Structure 1
Amino acid sequence: MKASHLKPDAYAAGCPTRQILDRIGDKWAVLILLLLRGEPMRFNQLRRAIEGISQKMLSQVLKSLERDGLLRRRAIATVPVTVEYSITPLGLTLAEAVDPLRDWAEQNLKEVLAAQRRYDAQRKALAA
């Protein structure tokens, strides 16, 4: 039976759903999609907006998102050629689904950092 006819099961090792979950779990992909919700952007605009992403990583993630149908790449005939990226309707549904996670992370950052410090202190005390 073809994979397209199988019932999705993210817990099964060979299920393609895992590839999609990998994309959702990729911080760079999420940040790119969230930025593109506002407006189409050029490569260097994205690179400047997302601190810490390398040119190589941005290029790889953009290609993956385009392959997945989550964004659209448009070459504009200028000298040199201008390339613009925009979110697709499918990408927009994903961005809307993950934005609450970004919001949760921002709202709970202090508590998570405090928990990490407590954990690290306990582990250090046990090791001593």
Structure 2
Amino acid sequence: MKKRSYSCGLDAAVDVVGGKWKALILWGLHDGPRRFGELRRAVPGISEKSLIIQLREMEHCGLVNREVYHQVPPRVDYSLTDLGQSLNQALIPLGEWGEKNMEIIEAIPAA
């Protein structure tokens, strides 16, 4: 398998958190572990299939921990790893920038 190579730290970070949903999923998990249904409600607009795919990718990258409880009914909790928590902290200033500039961003015509 070929080793990944990045030109800078931002390149590496965007590779891990890129896409429409990953940052929102990270934010959805910031208060602690959530079950799949809770997480889906915390990320409005995401389909079940997309959430499953994104969670698998994030688990593979080491951002999310998936804990299965063998009980009836089956239960699975998702939580942030230390790496996921540190990435979430790094995204807070970006979210603050978005809040501050939301009106300007919303006024940009769609491409």
Residue 10 in structure 1 maps to residue 3 in structure 2: no
Contact 1:71/1:85 (<8 A) preserved: yes
Bigger radius of gyration, 1 or 2? 1
Q: Indicate which of 25, 31, 35 corresponds to 1:32.
A: 25
Matching residue of 1:126: none
RMSD: 2.5
The structural deviation recorded for 1:100 is 1.3
**Structure 1 Cα separation of the partners of residues 19 and 89 of structure 2:** 15
Q: Mind listing any 5+ residue stretches in structure 2 that lack a counterpart?
A: none
Provide TM-score, normalisation by structure 1.
0.74
Q: Deviations over 1:63-107 (max 9, x none)?
A: 000000001000012212100001000111111111211221122
Provide TM-score, normalisation by structure 2.
0.84
Q: Indicate which of 23, 32, 35 corresponds to 1:42.
A: 35
More helix, by proportion: 1
Q: Mind listing any 5+ residue stretches in structure 1 that lack a counterpart?
A: 12-16, 121-128
**Structure 1 Cα separation of the partners of residues 12 and 47 of structure 2:** 22
Identity %: 39
**Structure 1 Cα separation of the partners of residues 39 and 45 of structure 2:** 11
Count of residues in correspondence between the two structures: 109
The structural deviation recorded for 1:34 is 1.4
Higher RCO (CA 8 Å, separation ≥ 6 residues): 2
- Correspondences of 1:70-89 after superposition (within 5 Å): 70-89=63-82
SS of aligned partner of 1:3:
coil
